[in-house]
Structure 1
């Protein structure tokens, strides 16, 4: 009798003793990775021993017997020794003994195979086969094994390789059935291939748990998740298991019971504490995104805030920053975004802080941060464009952008093809009397995202350049789509004098009625309409374009210019305009403007 047969006999004789201890065997050691290939060795040297693990036991309910009395019994089904051979290939005598006892209880006359520990490989190097297995090229692996059998008909792969191939194919079958939501097939594959349900293939355990839940067996689904949390050590897989269980299990207390299995870290925290606020995070995120129906209590926000501070959770600090930003609580938003960045640099936190600083009026810091982070992500580039656009279109910006910042802005707008940014740059060029360059940027805005505002920019700049061809093309293409454009083009044509329309905007307006003075025409009326709509930039640009045609600026239109400058914050320019209008034609309109501006310079208590 061979040495292996003697060993097998000893195992069989002591099966009961070993099996009695099987449940006490250590289970924390993880099985080898499903597709791990051992280092190359020349046959017949035995491969290194690997730690084994007791799998999750999935026993499916057997269908009720349909045999009738006196009916002949069908031939007994062939004994499934795949698990036994797997444990034997691992030289795990404890599990071998337990499996022998289990099979004997199901098949009383069954005897273990004599070749259980026999390595039936021929003297070949299996490493090329293991390499194919490591790539999960199972079709190529079978082709290579068939080729080997043609050369050596008696050759069989090692028990280790054969078992792993069987498990890999079973894993693929289980995944395919799970993806197709064929839950019964998932459970059939899992129950017939117990070697899958170990920590080395946590994905199979997750899918099996979901299949159990979907087939109405939530208790066993919970057991599958519990198996991972009591047997497996990978922190990321344990956390993912808890997340999946939270999404799948619905029975009262089921999730809390699994939460209690979390391990304590050196700081004394449960590894699953991070998941306790998932529901709150979802609601806060929905509220920050402005989703309808999103609601949460101040206590829930305070609880997450306390956790974010104590655990130094950058994602939670960032989430709270966006939540406060959505509520326009900008000082609180700034605090949270700064906290998030202090813990971990992140593009979204930089974006949030830049936009918050802009809303708080801290434009110099907002511009510096937005520029330095503009290349981190598309949203950061967009934030930079927004901050710069606000500065470029302000009549008296509190911060003057530097040349390198403007150059970076132009590059960012071109890269992002940002239509609004192109318009902002176009109006800033108009203000600087660079009309041709302005027209180019308005044209870019139209090509990237056609809009009425961009079309008006093209119209105003083209009129100043006397570019009638561009005006004609614009009108042919967009006059129906943008009615305001057609009105503007019509108004910019020279017309006979007409009565001036009274203006009312922002609580201050020229009070005189009747004629607006010599030279009043439909173009002047269109400018008034633009002013009344709140488009002060466009109104001023239209008046500048009118001056370019050497058309006289009536007194009433000069008053409109003063109020447009006032509403844009250019009080000095408005004061000069009103003073010039008062010198040319003294009246209540210019006096009112001067009085209100002078009051604005006084402290509130003296106004």
Structure 2
């Protein structure tokens, strides 16, 4: 029993001792009182933090700022100071002076209060992005001696935002030139140097870096930042074409971050290495969806003539690319300008439509209108041709709207459109009338298969390219009765072979009324019209009678070429580029058209773009025309 009593007594004593140790004793509080007595507020706060870690629940004694003998009591001011209650401090000072006009806060308190206010003012200005306010508030800082380095960093950032280069340079010089005991710790030096990558010339920064004697491990991230800056500057400078030094690129290729992948991708794409650029962008996109990397991947694939894959990228990143409607329109229009393939996804159509509306692009509205028309969506075609006309009038758009109204049977709308535009574009209705077969022509092309089978001599002449004999036999056959649609089709090809364009056109138009011969007749008529430089009429006929995809691309590529040539002759250089860009979506651009592109840029004042075109031509052709273009753009 006595042992149990003693045991309990020992446990109680231990618990009491443990409880006593949960509160710092006078010895441990001595440092706190010492720092407070000497006005070293930073050390007061640090010591209080240490005691709280050791003794959870510790509260700073209220009397630590009690004045020593002969000193005024400033404990109330220090309490307000610790709470950043500057209005309360002013009120307390006012109250004390009302009681004693000769009283003033101690120099120590006044100095520390000024610093506290400076930090608060700079921090508040930075939070509301008032960069000029940060610079103004920091007017009293001395970068050569400032102990609170983060305030100087705040000043540097604000100077960068406002373009105050002299302020930033002075701040950097003050921080980086300190020697001996005043030298910044290595960690603060590295942080300062990484900021300087943004603001100081690379050569100046490397000289400073060499003189600081930092360990190699600390220098590496700074060199990497410099490499990023150099690659980004190269990518943004259209005039620079030669690849950067391998040593610079190698810094980013080793364990690259996502931003490095993008930088490397744009560098390789610009310097003619789309295959490696593709890999950089694919890797970057694997880490997250991003508009710029999606653009880079699209352009990398397009540069490799992998248009279908490029279009797939645009379709996969519709939401991300919506912020750049011009890019999205150009990327998607390639598919909309190629009728006859699989139906386009409704989401893609919506994205293309929204981009067109955002950019108010008449050219792309026209492309979408023809897509709707060729897909037999005549209501949509009418709406988009109308929108294109609202933004920019052109005869082909009036023609498209007229054809859409005819398909819809909207006689009132057709009459109103003709009344509005016949005086402006009189040829439009003449063209529509010519490409619509009359009842007499449709009757004349009724099938007479027995007669066609009975006399096939003209067909043998056509296959042997004896075009004159082919025409003569068809003329003799016609004296016995109307020719079949098949015979009219062969007559058209034979006349075209003889370069008799008017006769070829009439024969092809006669064959348009038969469903079986219509596709070949449309193709033949379009080629005939294009050979006669009747560009708008050729476009109208392929708009009215859709072609197979391959033929459609061939005909439209020639249409855009003729438009580009005509626009150049009329000094309409922006229209030259519009036509060439539309053609490029259908077929590769041959050197002669690239020459036209270069000179169109030149006449528009786009010297950099023009020079880039001529330099690319010179790399492949080394001809005099490209050399003349390079010489002209150098002036």
Instruction: Name the TM-score, length of structure 2 as normaliser.
Output: 0.49
> Structure 1 residue 44 and structure 2 residue 45: aligned?
no
- Output one character per residue of 1:488-539: Cα deviation in whole Å (capped at 9) or x when no partner: 2454356999xxxxxxxxxx98712454438989xx9999369847679833
Does the CA contact (< 8 Å) of 2:405 and 2:411 recur in 1?
yes
Q: What residue number does 1:19 align with?
A: none
User: What number of residue pairs does the alignment pair up?
Assistant: 422
Q: What residue number does 1:58 align with?
A: none
Moved more, 271-280 or 229-238: 229-238
Partner-residue secondary structure (3-state), 1:126: helix
Q: What residue number does 1:461 align with?
A: 404
| Deviation for aligned residue 1:407 | 0.9
> Structure 1 residue 429 and structure 2 residue 377: aligned?
no
Q: What residue number does 2:540 align with?
A: 539
> Structure 1 residue 511 and structure 2 residue 499: aligned?
yes
Partner Cα separation in structure 2 for residue 229 and residue 509 of structure 1: 89
| Deviation for aligned residue 1:232 | 7.2
Q: How does 1:109-258 map to 2 (within 5 A)?
A: 120-122=74-76, 126=80, 130=84, 141-142=86-87, 144-148=88-92, 153=98, 162-168=113-119, 171=122, 189-191=140-142, 198-204=149-155, 214=166, 222-226=173-177, 230-231=184-185, 233=187, 237-238=191-192, 240-247=194-201, 253=204, 255-258=206-209
Partner Cα separation in structure 2 for residue 189 and residue 466 of structure 1: 80
Q: How does 1:327-338 map to 2 (within 5 A)?
A: 329-338=273-282
Partner Cα separation in structure 2 for residue 372 and residue 272 of structure 1: 36
Q: What residue number does 1:308 align with?
A: 252
Partner Cα separation in structure 2 for residue 181 and residue 218 of structure 1: 19
> Structure 1 residue 415 and structure 2 residue 433: aligned?
no
| Deviation for aligned residue 1:348 | 1.2
- Output one character per residue of 1:267-309: Cα deviation in whole Å (capped at 9) or x when no partner: 983434321452443123223xxxxxx12533x2544433332
Residues 442 and 221 (structure 1), Cα distance of their counterparts in 2 relative to 1, 3 Å cut: same
Does the CA contact (< 8 Å) of 1:435 and 1:465 recur in 2?
yes
Structure number with the bigger relative contact order (C-alpha 8 A, sep ≥ 6) is: 1
Partner Cα separation in structure 1 for residue 432 and residue 539 of structure 2: 13
Does the CA contact (< 8 Å) of 2:125 and 2:133 recur in 1?
no
Q: How does 1:578-593 map to 2 (within 5 A)?
A: none
Residues 149 and 186 (structure 1), Cα distance of their counterparts in 2 relative to 1, 3 Å cut: closer
| Deviation for aligned residue 1:235 | 9.3
Partner Cα separation in structure 1 for residue 280 and residue 401 of structure 2: 42
- Output one character per residue of 1:150-178: Cα deviation in whole Å (capped at 9) or x when no partner: 666569696697244442477599999x9
1:492 to 432, 457, 461: 432
Q: How does 1:372-383 map to 2 (within 5 A)?
A: 372-379=316-323
Partner Cα separation in structure 2 for residue 436 and residue 372 of structure 1: 28
CA-based RMSD of the aligned residues comes to 6.0
| Deviation for aligned residue 1:337 | 1.9
Moved more, 434-443 or 259-268: 259-268
More helix by share: 2
Partner Cα separation in structure 2 for residue 323 and residue 329 of structure 1: 9
Does the CA contact (< 8 Å) of 2:274 and 2:304 recur in 1?
yes
| Deviation for aligned residue 1:266 | 6.3
Partner Cα separation in structure 2 for residue 381 and residue 208 of structure 1: 34
- Output one character per residue of 1:204-242: Cα deviation in whole Å (capped at 9) or x when no partner: 366799999749x97885233455993474699535532
Partner Cα separation in structure 1 for residue 268 and residue 536 of structure 2: 31
Residues 188 and 350 (structure 1), Cα distance of their counterparts in 2 relative to 1, 3 Å cut: closer
| Deviation for aligned residue 1:408 | 0.6
Residues 220 and 447 (structure 1), Cα distance of their counterparts in 2 relative to 1, 3 Å cut: closer
Partner Cα separation in structure 2 for residue 531 and residue 148 of structure 1: 96
Residues 339 and 512 (structure 1), Cα distance of their counterparts in 2 relative to 1, 3 Å cut: same
Q: What residue number does 1:68 align with?
A: none
Partner Cα separation in structure 2 for residue 263 and residue 257 of structure 1: 11
| Deviation for aligned residue 1:327 | 5.9
Partner-residue secondary structure (3-state), 2:292: helix
Does the CA contact (< 8 Å) of 1:384 and 1:409 recur in 2?
no
Q: How does 1:334-353 map to 2 (within 5 A)?
A: 334-342=278-286, 345-353=289-297
2:242 to 297, 309, 322: 297
| Deviation for aligned residue 1:544 | 3.6
Partner Cα separation in structure 2 for residue 192 and residue 313 of structure 1: 33
> Structure 1 residue 356 and structure 2 residue 300: aligned?
yes
| Deviation for aligned residue 1:454 | 4.6
Does the CA contact (< 8 Å) of 2:144 and 2:175 recur in 1?
no
Does the CA contact (< 8 Å) of 1:371 and 1:384 recur in 2?
no
Does the CA contact (< 8 Å) of 1:392 and 1:424 recur in 2?
yes
Q: How does 1:57-76 map to 2 (within 5 A)?
A: none
Residues 393 and 343 (structure 1), Cα distance of their counterparts in 2 relative to 1, 3 Å cut: same
Q: In structure 2, list runs of 5 or more residues that go unmatched.
A: 1-29, 40-45, 50-56, 438-495, 511-524, 559-635
Q: What residue number does 2:613 align with?
A: none
| Deviation for aligned residue 1:438 | 1.6
Partner-residue secondary structure (3-state), 1:312: coil
